[in-house]
Chain A
Amino acid sequence: MKVWVFAESAADKVTTATLELLTKAREIGSAVEAVYAGSGDTAGIAASVGAYGATKLHVIDPGDGLPGQVAAAGLAQLAGSEQPDLILFAQTYDGRDAIARLSVKLDRPVLTNGMSLSADGGSLVFGTAVFGGVTLVDVKLTSDGPALIAIRPKSFAAEESGGGPAEIAAVAAADAGRAAEAKVLARHIEEQQGPKLEEAAVVVSGGRGIGAAENYAPLVEELAKLLKGAWGASRAIVDAGWVPYALQVGQTGKTVKPKVYIALGISGATQHLVGMKNSDNIVAVNKDGEAPIFSVADLGIVGDVHKVVPALIDLLKAKQ
C-alpha cells in the first residue's frame, strides 16, 4: 500500500502530529512519502520526515496563500499521476482545509476525527468515537481511489525509523483557482510560557466554574506552574474571551494526553471530553456533583474551586 502523509510544521519544525502519522503509515504501508506545503527549511523537514520513515518529500510552495487550501491543487495533480492508496492528514486547521478541497477535486469521501487505523487485508479499517468517546465506530470505504483520512493528534505514538533524509521533490505549480485568493497578511503568535499543552506531563485546565477571567491566573496558571505543567481551558471560557484560543482543550481545540489532567470548574461537555479523556489520570474539582467530568475522573472533589484550589496551592508551596 502506498501511503502519503500531509506534513505540517510549526516554526520550521515538523509537528508531532505529522510524526505520529508517519509512524502509522509505516505500519500499514509498504511505501511512505510526505507532502509538505511550505517554504523555509525544507532540508530540515526532509531530515525529520525521513527519520520517521518517509523516503520522499514532495514540496508545494503555497506562497502567501493558506497552505492547506493551496496545496490541494498540487496534491490532486500529484495523486492523479502517482496513485497513492491512502493520504493521511492531521485533524488540524490546515489539515482540514487540505483534505476538504482535495476531496472535491478527487470526488472522494473523507473520514475525519480518526482515532485508530489498521489494514485488514487490502482494506483499511478506520476507527472514530462518537458521543464524546462513549461509542466506538469502525468504518470501511467501499469504493476504489485514494482514501482520504484525517486523524486526531495523539492517537498514535511517534517512533523513529532510523531512516535518512527524505529525497526532496518540488511539485510543479498547479492552478489553485480562487482558493489561492485567500492571502495571509500577518501571523500572530500568542506566546505561552511554560511547557507546551500537548507535551506536558501535567495539564491544569479551567472552565466556567472559575467564575471570572481574573481568577484564571491565580488558580489555573499558578497550580500548573507549581506542578511544572501546562495550563489549558474549556471552550466556554475561550469563547467568553477569558483566555486565548491556543489554550483550548477539546474537540475544536487541542487533544492532550498527559500523565495527570486536572479539570477545575469544568463540567465536562462532550466537546471537552474528546480532547482529554485519554489522559493517564484525571482529577476534577467541581461544585456540581452530577457534572459529567466526574464520570471520567479517577479522583473527583465535589467542592468550590475557590476554596479547594488555594488550599492545594498552599499545601504544595509548603512542601517545596
Chain B
Amino acid sequence: MNVAVCVKQIPDPAVPGSLSADHTLDRSGKLILDESDSYGVEMALQLVDAAGGGEVTLISMAPNDEVSGLRTALAMGAAKAILVSDPALAGSDALSTAKVLAKSIERAGDIDLVLAATESSDGYTGTVPAQVAELLGWPALTFSKHVEIAGGTVKVQRQTEAGYDEVEASLPAIVSVTAGVVEPRYPSFKGIMAAKNKPVDKVTAADLGLDAAQVGWAGARQEITNVEQAPARQAGEKFEDDGTGAEKLVAFLEQLKVV
C-alpha cells in the first residue's frame, strides 16, 4: 500500500512569529516539520508496515526549496518527497494550497491513501484535507483519532463535538488525523544519515500544470486591510505561593460572587 502524507514546514512555533511587509507570515527563517504532521507520518509508516509492502511519499509546499522539515520526516522512514517551491506560490490561501497538493498527489501516482493533519499549526484554516479530497474526487475522513485499514477500506474514529463517530470509506481516500493518533517515533541516527540521500522531487507550479493566476496572491482573491495589536488584557496580579495561594483564590472567587 502506498501512502502520501501532506507535511508542512513552518517557522519554529517556539520562536515568536511575525508578519512580513505583505502581511503574510514571515517564513524567511529556518523552517521545521510542523509537529502536527509528525502524527500523519508515523501513522503512514505504521499502516505501510502493517500492509506488508509499499512506501510513504511526502508532499510539501514551501518557499526557498526548504527541505529541513522534509529531512526530519524522511529520517523517520518516509521513502521520498515531492517539494513544490515557487515564488508564484507566495500568498497562497487554503484553496490554492489544496490545488498544489492535489496536483502533487496525482504526480506521485499510484497512491492508495493520503494522510494530513487536521490543520497546520501556523495557518490553521482546517479545510485543506477536505479541499484536496474534493479536487481529487475522493472521500475524506476528517478529524480522525484512530485509523484502521482492512481489505481496501479505511475505517476511522472521527471526532465530534460530543464524542466520536465510526466512519468508513473505500480507498483511495484522504484521512486527516488529530495530534495524538499515534506516538511519533524519533528519527534514529541511521535514519538521519539515510534521509540525506533520499530523493526529493523539486517542482514548480508550472510543472504541476497550475496557472500562476490560480495560486499565490492572485488565487487567494483577498487583501489584508488592517493589522493591529489586540487590546491587551489588563495586567493581573501574580503571587508566589507562600502557603496563602488558596486563600487568595477564594477571595478572588468571592469577589466575583462565584462562591
* Residues of A participating in the B interface, judged by any CB pair closer than 8 Å: 10-11, 15, 66, 69, 72, 91-93, 96-97, 99-101, 103-105, 107-113, 125, 129-131, 133-143, 150, 177-190, 201-202, 227, 229, 235, 238-241, 244-246, 251-252, 254, 259-260, 270-271, 277, 281-283, 285, 289, 294-304, 307-309, 311-312, 314-316, 319
The docked-state distance in angstroms from the alpha carbon of A32 to that of B128 is 28
* A-B pair number, CB within 8 angstroms: 270
Q: Is the CB of B170 within 8 A of A181?
A: yes
The docked-state distance in angstroms from the alpha carbon of A246 to that of B247 is 32
Q: Is the CB of A187 within 8 A of B126?
A: no
Chain B: interface size category? 35 or more
**B131, B236, B259: which contacts A300 (Cβ < 8 A)?**
B236
The docked-state distance in angstroms from the alpha carbon of A159 to that of B28 is 45
Known: A187-B160, A190-B162, A227-B253. A179 touches B245 (CB 8 A): no
Known: A69-B130, A190-B162, A297-B236. A110 touches B94 (CB 8 A): yes
The docked-state distance in angstroms from the alpha carbon of A302 to that of B238 is 7
Q: Does B142 contact A (CB under 8 A)?
A: yes
A sample of 12 cross-chain residue pairs with beta-carbon separation below 8 angstroms, ordered by A number, consists of A69-B130, A97-B140, A109-B95, A110-B125, A111-B222, A143-B221, A239-B180, A252-B178, A289-B238, A296-B236, A297-B238, A315-B247
Stretch in B15-23, B54-62, B66-74, B192-200 with 4+ CB within 8 Å of A: B15-23
Q: Is the interface of B mostly helix, strand, loop or mixed?
A: mixed
**A103, A270, A298, A309: which contacts B127 (Cβ < 8 A)?**
A103
Known: A260-B256, A299-B248. A96 touches B233 (CB 8 A): no
Q: Is the CB of B259 within 8 A of A316?
A: yes
Cβ–Cβ < 8 Å partners of A96 in chain B? 126-127, 130, 142
The docked-state distance in angstroms from the alpha carbon of A27 to that of B240 is 47
Q: Is the CB of B236 within 8 A of A299?
A: yes
Q: Is the CB of A136 within 8 A of B229?
A: yes
Residue of A nearest to B217 (CB): A142
Q: Does B12 contact A (CB under 8 A)?
A: no
**A103, A130, A294: which contacts B238 (Cβ < 8 A)?**
A294
Q: Is the CB of A238 within 8 A of B180?
A: yes
Q: Is the CB of A187 within 8 A of B130?
A: no
Residue of B nearest to A145 (CB): B221
Known: A104-B135, A245-B145, A308-B246. A187 touches B178 (CB 8 A): no
The docked-state distance in angstroms from the alpha carbon of A294 to that of B238 is 7
